[in-house]
Amino acid sequence: MDKTQSPSLVAKSQKGFALIVTLSVLSVVIALTVVLLSYFKEVKEDSDTTKALIQANVYYADVLDQFNKIKGKIGRLYRMPVSLRTPDGRFKIMLRCTPIASGININWLAMERERKKQHLFQEAQQLFDTLAQEYDLEEPDRLLEMILLEIGLGRKFVMHEQSRLIQKNGIISYQQFYGILSRYEMEVDDTKVGRIPWRKYFSFSRKSEKIDAEYSSSELISFLFDIDLKSVREWKGSLPRPSLESFVNENAGNYNEKKHLLAGGTFLGESHCTVNFGAGYKFTFDYIQGEAKYFEFYGKH
What pLDDT sits at residue 182? 96
Residue ranges in the chain modelled with pLDDT below 70: 1-62, 66-75, 86-91, 153-169, 299-301
pLDDT single digits (tens) 171-180:
988 999 999 9
Whole-model pTM above 0.75?
A: no
Q: What is the C-alpha to C-alpha distance for residues 51 and 279, in angstroms, rounded to an integer?
A: 11
What pLDDT sits at residue 171? 93
What pLDDT sits at residue 301? 57
pLDDT single digits (tens) 128-161:
999 999 999 999 999 999 999 999 854 444 444 4
For the sheet containing 92-99, what is the strand order?
82-85, 92-99, 270-277, 281-288, 291-298
136: left (phi over 0), alpha (psi -120 to 50) or beta: left
